[in-house]
Amino acid sequence: MAARTPVAEVALADLERDPHPVLRALRREHAAVWVPALDGWMVLTRDAVLAAMRDDAALTVDDPRFSTGRITGPSMLSTDGPEHDRHRRPFARPFRLDAVRAALGPAADRAATRLVDAVADRGAADLRAALAGPLAAEMMLIALGLDGPGTGDVLGWYAQIVDAVTRITAGEADPPEGHAAYRALGDAIRASLAADAGGETLLAAALADAADLAEDELVANAAVLLFGGVETTEGMVANLLHHLLAEPGLIERVAADEALAAGAIEESLRMEPAAAVVDRYATRDLEIGTARIRAGDLVVLSMASANRDETVFDDPDRFDPGRANARLHTTFAAGPHVCLGMHLARIEAHAALRALAGLPGLRADPAAPSAPTGLVFRKPAAVAALWDPA
Ligand code: HEM
């Protein structure tokens, strides 16, 4: 069988640390390349990434290699075509912008304000640990009605499931703790549904349109919402704060101006997508640019690369909160799997900035500079900030 070309001998460690110089060089030559270290193709240009996301007949998520599905069973994340519509449809209405804003906007502001107030008199904090992480987790627990006395348990199960998925992705056998944690989470989700059949939570609102879903399927999709909403949103807010603290005075200006904040949020989503790539599997032979992809091949779509495509974004490596076309980023995907939680995620980012506007002299801690890292999920390990305590 002919070798796969064009080929890029890229080290995973480089993609993990700072993929952007590598991706820039590859993107200049190719729309897609074979990356032996990934045992898959990587799609690089914005046009090619968007076309791939929209073509779920040729490039599917429905493959046994997809690791989350091995724990949760089928959900909207692991199906395509009519099956995917069936799984996703009940959640479409509760997650629309107007619905999410009404249901969760005030709760996001309350949560962000409480988290910032808790550290305000210290004059220093890691804003990922103090704000981005707990805000993302708390909002998803509220959305799913899991914010009661068992919150700590839910987050423990969540961590065990994420660990199991990571181990399966690395080629290890399914760890039994992951399945046990998923069963416990499923029971909590069932209890939330039973307690709130009237529709206060987004999950209960979905129930109104969920006649086509069995209870196990509803639970799988609720779990997928939890996975989709915690790690990525923590990363989104941490990356935003990393970008805004990089230039003295910027975060204070942006936090005080909603329009500038909206631009800065989109620009940060473009510069450093918290989920840098998504995986697809080719259902048939196809070509992307000069790449000849074979049926069964793994095809990794790089939003990190597409978002810095120089044919779309001028001077793409520069963070510009006023950039007119920042919203053309691909960070929330496109096509049938376009992110269901994007409106909620943006509401949380705005809430975080509004809460931080109350900290005078907010600035980066020069002793601990932050930098996003990670192969799939990219965020800084910490975002150390200082301010003038009242
Ligand atoms: C409240 C927060 C969020 C929730 C509840 C959420 C939920 C979801 C769900 C349920 C899906 C699957 C949709 C489907 O397959 O039909 C999805 C897809 C996706 N989400 Fe989100 N998400 C959130 C935040 C984010 C953030 C902050 C990012 C990136 C910065 C992100 C990136 C993505 C991407 C790239 C996909 C597409 C996955 C694929 O095509 O394989 N999400 N999201």
Question: How far, in Å, is the centroid of ligand 1 from the Cα of 372?
Answer: 19
Which tokens sit at 292? 């000849």
Bond before 6 cis per omega within 30 degrees: yes
Q: Which of the 8 DSSP states describes residue 132?
A: I
Which tokens sit at 319? 């963070």
Q: Which structural domains are found in the chain, ordered by start?
A: 12-386 (1.10.630.10)
Question: How far, in Å, is the centroid of ligand 1 from the Cα of 333?
Answer: 8
Question: How far, in Å, is the centroid of ligand 1 from the Cα of 228?
Answer: 5
Closest residue by CA, ligand 1 atom 41: 278
Q: What's the pLDDT at 1? A: 66
Place of tokens 């096509």: 335
Closest residue by CA, ligand 1 atom 26: 232
Mutation pick for ligand 1 pocket among 232, 278, 331 (CB with most ligand atoms within 8 Å): 232
Question: How far, in Å, is the centroid of ligand 1 from the Cα of 226?
Answer: 10
Per-residue confidence in pLDDT tens, the chain, 390 aa: 678 999 999 999 999 999 999 999 999 999 999 999 999 999 999 999 999 999 999 999 999 988 888 888 999 999 999 999 999 999 999 999 999 999 999 999 999 999 999 999 999 999 999 999 999 999 999 999 998 878 889 989 999 998 898 888 777 888 899 999 999 999 999 998 888 766 678 998 898 888 899 999 999 999 999 989 999 999 999 999 999 999 999 999 999 999 999 999 999 999 999 999 999 999 999 999 999 999 999 999 999 999 999 999 999 999 999 999 999 999 999 999 999 999 999 999 999 999 999 999 999 999 999 999 999 999 999 999 999 987
What atom of ligand 1 comes closest to residue 333's alpha carbon?
35
Give 124's contacts (C-beta < 8 A, 6+ positions apart): 365, 384, 385, 386, 387
Mutation pick for ligand 1 pocket among 338, 339, 379 (CB with most ligand atoms within 8 Å): 339
CB neighbours (10 Å) of residue 147? 19
Q: What is the pTM of this model?
A: 0.96
In angstroms, how far apart are the furthest CA atoms of the chain?
Answer: 69
What atom of ligand 1 comes closest to residue 279's alpha carbon?
41
Site residues for ligand 1, CB cut-off 6 Å? 61, 76-77, 88, 224-225, 228-229, 232-233, 236, 273-275, 278, 331-333, 337, 339-341, 344-345
Q: What's the pLDDT at 198? A: 64
* Order of strands, sheet of 124-126, starting from the edge strand that comes earlier in the sequence: 124-126, 384-386, 363-364
C-alpha–C-alpha distance, residues 313 and 307, integer Å: 8
Question: How far, in Å, is the centroid of ligand 1 from the Cα of 344?
Answer: 11
Q: What's the pLDDT at 171? A: 79
Residue 92 identity (one-letter amino acid): A
Tens of pLDDT, residue by residue over 205-237, are 898 888 899 999 999 999 999 989 999 999 999
Closest residue by CA, ligand 1 atom 34: 332
CA of 226: how far to CAs of 96, 158, 221, 230, 268, in Å?
A: 17, 8, 9, 6, 23
Place of tokens 């808790």: 118
Q: What's the pLDDT at 121? A: 96
Closest residue by CA, ligand 1 atom 27: 233
Closest residue by CA, ligand 1 atom 13: 337
Q: What's the pLDDT at 235? A: 97
What atom of ligand 1 comes closest to residue 95's alpha carbon?
5
Sort strands 40-43 and 298-302 into parallel, antiparallel or unpaired.
Answer: parallel
Nearest one of 181, 189, 180, 240 to 210, comparing CA atoms: 189
Question: How far, in Å, is the centroid of ligand 1 from the Cα of 332?
Answer: 6
Question: How far, in Å, is the centroid of ligand 1 from the Cα of 390?
Answer: 38
Closest residue by CA, ligand 1 atom 2: 229
